[in-house]
Homo-oligomer: A and B are copies of this chain.
Amino acid sequence: MIQKTSVGTVAKSLTEYWSQRVVAEANGNLFKVAKGLGATSWHAHHDQEETFLVLDGALTVQLRDGDVHLEAGDLLVIPRGVEHCPLASEDVFLLLIGPDVTSTAAGGKPAWSVEGGRPTPG
């Protein structure tokens, strides 16, 4: 039997910020659940688009030409090569879709984001 995934339940179970949990794969893309707080590093993905869908909370995606503010149910595709820096003032829960797990240092994962880590205020 095919198994469903409750993305909200997975999201709430995550312990580390800006890490991605793969919950499904289809047509060469991974469905990845993450939670965010504070900012990642500025980065770009030169080999793939990255799609954000906000599950709960709010996320500001900083771009070099302005910010895009996302709330629950908002979807945003970051084109290849476009620099971005997601920022959340409170916990935000995300579904990310793309061919690879991008929660790496090159993918913007901040150094403070390890098990139990939290962003430095200010």
Which A residues are closer than 8 A to B by beta carbons?
1-9, 23-29, 31, 48-51, 53, 55, 63, 65-66, 68, 70, 73-79, 82, 95, 97-99
Bound complex: CA A93 to CA B18 (Å): 28
Bound complex: CA A31 to CA B50 (Å): 13
B contact residues around A31 at 8 Å (CB):
51, 75
Q: Which residue of B lies closest to A23 (CB)?
A: B75
Question: Given contacts A1-B63, A2-B63, A68-B2, is CB(A27)–CB(B99) below 8 Å?
Answer: yes
Q: Which residue of B lies closest to A71 (CB)?
A: B6
When the two chains form their complex, are residues A6 and B77 in contact, meaning their CB atoms are under 8 A apart? no
A49, A53, A70, A73, most chain B CB atoms within 10 A: A73
B contact residues around A97 at 8 Å (CB):
26-27, 29, 97
